[in-house]
């Protein structure tokens, strides 16, 4: 059983909202990080496949076909549980409602959901400009629709314990992260 003082904070949000940037603030503060997308990247690497949207989607869908919609939570729960015995954990990449329910059943109040919310046009611009796996606006729209319709991504965002608006600068996001950690420490 994990140390009840330690928590797992799952950072949720749509693609391009700033989830990984926010997760890096936790890491810089000494938190362990479990990146759900790391499972996909590891499989791509093992199979010698390029890291493209096409192959990433294929791997994600195959994993969910094999393990259910909670696949990533199920595969990574042992790691999360082990890390919680020693330290706080930030989870980058929890997507589906089933992943949320799987972890909530096992972690209870130790699972905190923080949603990063960003205006759609700002997200699309960020996705187009990002150096790793950039997306055109059309690709970003298609990904949004796929994640909402097929992955039930809206559920964890809707039920979040805390919301961070990320429409401006990296410094503003850092400031909002600090407000979140103050809230977290006060609860």
Mean of all residue pLDDT scores within the chain = 95
Torsion of CA 111, 66, 34, 16, to 10 degrees: -90
Residue 150 Cα distances to 1, 64, 177, angstroms: 33, 11, 30
| Boundaries of domain holding 57 | 8-186
Q: Would you say residue 31 lies in a domain? A: yes
What DSSP assignment string belongs to 161-180?
SEEEE-SS-HHHHHHHHHHH
Q: Would you say residue 92 lies in a domain? A: yes
CA distance 47 to 128: 27
pLDDT(179) > 50 = yes
Going by C-alpha positions, the residue among 180, 163, 156 that lies closest to residue 115 is 163
Mean pLDDT computed over 10-22: 97
Note the pLDDT tens digit of each residue in 47-96: 999 988 889 989 999 999 999 999 999 999 999 999 999 999 999 999 99
Q: Which residues of 99-117 are buried (b: 16+ CB within 10 A; e: fewer)?
A: bbbbbbebbeebbbbbbbb
Mean pLDDT computed over 105-117: 98
Q: Would you say residue 68 lies in a domain? A: yes
User: For residue 1, what pLDDT is reported?
Assistant: 46
pLDDT(182) > 50 = yes
Mean pLDDT computed over 87-112: 97
User: For residue 133, what pLDDT is reported?
Assistant: 82
User: For residue 2, what pLDDT is reported?
Assistant: 45
Q: Would you say residue 2 lies in a domain? A: no
pTM: 0.92
- Residue 135 sits in a domain whose CATH number is 3.40.50.300
Q: Would you say residue 153 lies in a domain? A: yes
How confident is residue 132, by pLDDT bands cut at 50, 70 and 90?
A: confident
Q: Would you say residue 144 lies in a domain? A: yes
What DSSP assignment string belongs to 43-58?
HHHHHT----HHHHHH
Worst-scoring range by mean pLDDT, 57-61, 109-113, 124-128? 57-61
Q: Would you say residue 3 lies in a domain? A: no
How confident is residue 151, by pLDDT bands cut at 50, 70 and 90?
A: confident
Number of domains in the chain: 1
Q: Would you say residue 63 lies in a domain? A: yes
């Amino acid at each position: 059983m994990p140390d009840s003082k330690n928590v797992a904070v799952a950072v949720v949000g749509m693609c391009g909202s700033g989830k990984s940037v926010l997760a890096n603030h936790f890491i810089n503060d000494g938190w362990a990080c479990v990146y759900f997308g790391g499972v996909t990247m590891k499989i791509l690497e093992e199979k010698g496949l390029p890291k493209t949207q096409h192959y990433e989607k294929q791997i994600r869908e195959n994993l969910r076909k094999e393990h259910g919609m909670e696949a990533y939570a199920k595969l990574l729960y042992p790691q999360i549980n082990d890390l919680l015995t020693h330290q706080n954990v930030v989870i980058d990449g929890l997507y589906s409602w089933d992943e949320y329910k799987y972890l909530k059943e096992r972690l209870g109040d130790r699972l905190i959901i923080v949603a990063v919310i960003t205006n759609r046009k700002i997200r699309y611009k960020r996705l187009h400009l990002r150096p790793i796996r950039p997306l055109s606006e059309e690709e970003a729209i298609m990904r949004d629709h796929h994640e909402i319709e097929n992955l039930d991504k809206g559920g964890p965002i809707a039920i979040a314990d805390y919301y961070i608006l990320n429409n401006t600068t990296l410094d503003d996001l850092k400031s909002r992260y600090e407000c979140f950690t103050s809230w977290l420490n006060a609860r």
